[in-house]
Structure 1
Amino acid sequence: MKRNLQALGLTAALLAALLLGGCTGQRPDGENATAETAEPTPAAEPIPNPLTGVADGDYTNRRPVAVTLRTLEGAQPQWGLSTADVLVEGVTEGTTASLMALYANADSISKVGPVGPGRDLLLQLALPLNALPVHIDKNVYASNLLNTLSYQDLDGYHIGKAAFAFDQDRQNAGYREENCWYTTGEMIQNGLSTYGTSLEGANTPLFVFGERPAVAEDARNATTLTITFSADDSEQLVYAADTGLYTKTNADGSPTTDTDNGQTVGFTNVLVLYASSGIKDDGYTRDYDMTGGTGIYLTGGGWEQIQWSKEDATGPLQLTDANGQTLVVSPGKSFIAIWGGYYGQGLTLTGADGTEQTLPEKPALLESGISDEDAAAAQAEFDARQKIIDAQAAVEQATAQLSEAQTALEEAQTALDADSSNEELIAKRDEAQALVDSLNQTIADNQAILDAAGVTATPAPEADSGAESGE
């Protein structure tokens, strides 16, 4: 009886196995019966760098970072320029251009700064990329734009040392405090974590990237580009055939270098976006029509005229060539200048043979803009007033120094009278005489300026004689 039950159990188990095999289309001998094997899901292609178009890693689900840098006097040299994928520059306030460095990979930021305040003009090119804006403070226009869009930034004014650090060695070297703050990729990630967020998210390619035909050596008509943002803020981008890059220079003509690693800053692509400009309602901040305009594109030593457009602050940059076809941009790093062409700004481009190129006409002014004639008249009036102020100050300073110089001369002459052959006393007398002559000449020259303007110089205060009179 027990053997019969065991045999029955084996029979049932075999029947179950056959039934299960039939349900899955599997025969006892292991061959498929009716069901087909599911195809494996293909792996997604890695996304190349959205800012350079270079396939140097997988940028899937990785947001770029946009760091505003300080550019005013004392801000240079700056950290992090050579590792930036894109630099964007344009005047936002005053006469000095603001600068923004874009990085597709925050991990590449070993040190960037000095970090400056956010500006709405720069945000216009960062937001369409889904980039994280990083700055220390921001003007009201940038603040309003971010608030309207409910767009999270990383502002050192609010988050402080959670995402920013102070370079004490730089301050010890004589730099002002505001030019000593910097950040890193790690600190940026730490700062975002305090908001419960990260740099994970979609990204949008900056341009349509693709290979372009090489520019023949005898056709390189775009080797030196000079961008004048203002009388005291001008720079060049010079093409180097051996590297294929445009090297950026400072206002004094020296190469722009990254103080973090000493590397010279260079770009495969240079774009100048012409934008009509005016003045915002605060009477100081520059306003630009960022919906579109003409421009120029340089790469490989050659150039062409382009058109650009943007739907709104978050709309991506659209570029077309002279035929209205989508512009194909060479893979590599880019420099983008936003140029209004208003009074005091200039743009020149020369080829390898030194021939100056004929560039597109400068953009028209916005209604709030100031014409060249009115700007020139205002500049002339300002210069005239400043000349009077400088002349008054020069007369007052020279007059205040003259009495002491004359006393020194008299003492030197008295000593020389007692020892007329003493060469040391002769030299001392001549030096004192030269100083008196120089001060008198300074007074005469600047008094002539004041006389021509019908202005009387304010006399230098006389020495207090109270001590001698017993008061």
Structure 2
Amino acid sequence: MKKRNLKMLSLTLATACALAALAGCSKKQEETTEAPTTTAQAGTMASVTMPAPPETTASELPEGMMYSYLTGLPVTTEVGTRRPLAVMIDNEKKAMPQNGISSADVVYETPIEANEVRLEMIIQDYSELSRFGGMRSARRYHPGIAYEFDAIFFHHGHSDIALPYLEDTEHCDDIDGVTDRGYPATYEVDDHAKGHRTFSNPEKINTRIEKLGIRTEVRNDFDYKFQFAKESAPNQLPNGTAANKVTIGYKQNQPWFEYHSDDQLYYRYAYGEAHIDQENNQQVAVKNILVQYCDFELEWDKDTKNIFTTGEGTGMFITNGKAEPITWSKEEYWDNTHYYDASGQEIQLNPGKTWVCIVLPKMTGEITVE
């Protein structure tokens, strides 16, 4: 397990002014938008064997089962060795309701331009979905997030400075729905508002993945992003502060999470109501919430945000009705992000789904935990 000797901020989560300390440690890092060197092509169909996740043994699970590296929960080996999809999901009010978001293993919510925030869902087993979407475009930092999970990146358009990363075939297996490469995998629906109708389904995306010759199994040298506690010994955050309601101050959708002690999950609300997935009519609920403060700069249009997800910064880890301050670190664009507690130990998530909120320093005081 990795360990960092990072100076932690003194933090009392119960007050907004104490939360202001979180943003102070987040700092801008220099990142280039020049095209990365490419040395490999995406069309390799190598068969790989997925190693067992850390701190598990084969005897703990029945034959044919393994622990998911996305959730820490038992899954079949067929599912657990399959590369996930990272899909850009429309998050505007007119795009509601979304399809498939409640089935995602991990979701990133990130600012993009003006007050807009967009979702990037990481989903490994999407075979039972009737459709997923609506889909939207990517920004520069989204391909790097997909790579942290060895995910195939599926989106509908992109900003200009994202292009060098999308074209880096060593790291990014990219399917863009506005190009010939990805257009056959998308279609328009008639039950959503105009401009928010781009969707896909398992059959279309799998056909396109096969046509493009994209690797479909997790690579055998994959470096796990998350560490998980065992279900039999959950992480109770003994030094944490009560976290029964978590409000994230995104101006567009004003989301919040409410903790249910009966199933120990955080139920999500947005736009003033329960966040419901049209696919199954269920409210989105997750086990873990990570809040990650990141610096940014404005792109040429002075509106689109170029968020710096490399370097070091601060945040919060929220699970099982508790919250604690954390730090995060990511050395290079194509590296994993690691999260550390006050002692410098890498945190252990509890098995289940995770929602990651990328927030900006100016949002300090708009993140409340009570």
- TM-score normalised by length of structure 2: 0.75
Aligned residue pairs total 301
Q: Which residue of 2 aligns with 1:144?
A: 164
**Residues 1:194 and 1:149: Cα distance change in structure 2 (over 3 Å):** closer
Q: Which residue of 2 aligns with 1:115?
A: 135
Aligned to 1:179, the other structure's residue is in SS state: coil
Q: Which has the higher strand share?
A: 2
Q: Which residue of 2 aligns with 1:201?
A: 218
Q: Which residue of 1 aligns with 2:279?
A: 260
Q: Which residue of 2 aligns with 1:228?
A: 249
Aligned to 2:144, the other structure's residue is in SS state: helix
Q: Does 1:135 align with 2:155?
A: yes
Q: Does 1:163 align with 2:189?
A: no
**Residues 1:263 and 1:184: Cα distance change in structure 2 (over 3 Å):** same
The answer to whether the Cα contact below 8 Å between 1:87 and 1:101 also exists between their aligned partners in 2 is yes
Q: Which residue of 1 aligns with 2:29?
A: none
Q: Which has the higher contact order (CA 8 A, sep 6+)?
A: 2
The answer to whether the Cα contact below 8 Å between 2:93 and 2:253 also exists between their aligned partners in 1 is no
Q: Does 1:284 align with 2:306?
A: no
Cα distance, 1:235 vs structure 2: 0.8
The answer to whether the Cα contact below 8 Å between 2:290 and 2:318 also exists between their aligned partners in 1 is yes
Separation (CA, whole Å) in 2 of partners of 1:331 and 1:83: 15
Instruction: Give the alignment partner of residue 344 of structure 2, picking from 313, 316, 324.
Output: 324
Cα distance, 1:216 vs structure 2: 9.8
Gaps of 5+ in 1: 1-41, 351-471
Aligned to 2:277, the other structure's residue is in SS state: coil
Q: Which residue of 2 aligns with 1:273?
A: 292
Deviations 1:258-279 (A, max 9, x none): 0111011000000001112222
Cα distance, 1:110 vs structure 2: 3.3
Q: Which residue of 2 aligns with 1:81?
A: 101
Aligned to 1:322, the other structure's residue is in SS state: coil
Q: Does 1:306 align with 2:323?
A: no
**Residues 1:216 and 1:63: Cα distance change in structure 2 (over 3 Å):** closer
One-letter code aligned to 1:266: A
Cα distance, 1:137 vs structure 2: 1.1
Deviations 1:412-456 (A, max 9, x none): xxxxxxxxxxxxxxxxxxxxxxxxxxxxxxxxxxxxxxxxxxxxx
One-letter code aligned to 2:347: L
**Residues 1:216 and 1:330: Cα distance change in structure 2 (over 3 Å):** closer
Query: Is 99-108 or 68-77 further displaced after alignment?
Result: 99-108
One-letter code aligned to 1:289: F
The answer to whether the Cα contact below 8 Å between 2:69 and 2:80 also exists between their aligned partners in 1 is no
One-letter code aligned to 1:200: E
Separation (CA, whole Å) in 2 of partners of 1:281 and 1:206: 32
Separation (CA, whole Å) in 1 of partners of 2:169 and 2:186: 25
Q: Which residue of 2 aligns with 1:251?
A: 271
One-letter code aligned to 1:301: G
Query: How many percent of aligned residue pairs carry the same amino acid?
Result: 26
**Residues 1:242 and 1:61: Cα distance change in structure 2 (over 3 Å):** closer
Q: If you compute each CA radius of gyration, which structure gives the higher value, 1 or 2?
A: 1
Gaps of 5+ in 2: 1-58
Separation (CA, whole Å) in 1 of partners of 2:241 and 2:292: 21
Cα distance, 1:82 vs structure 2: 1.1
Q: Which residue of 2 aligns with 1:334?
A: 354
The answer to whether the Cα contact below 8 Å between 2:140 and 2:306 also exists between their aligned partners in 1 is no
- TM-score normalised by length of structure 1: 0.60
The answer to whether the Cα contact below 8 Å between 1:62 and 1:201 also exists between their aligned partners in 2 is yes
Separation (CA, whole Å) in 2 of partners of 1:331 and 1:241: 16
**Residues 1:244 and 1:220: Cα distance change in structure 2 (over 3 Å):** farther
Cα distance, 1:206 vs structure 2: 3.3
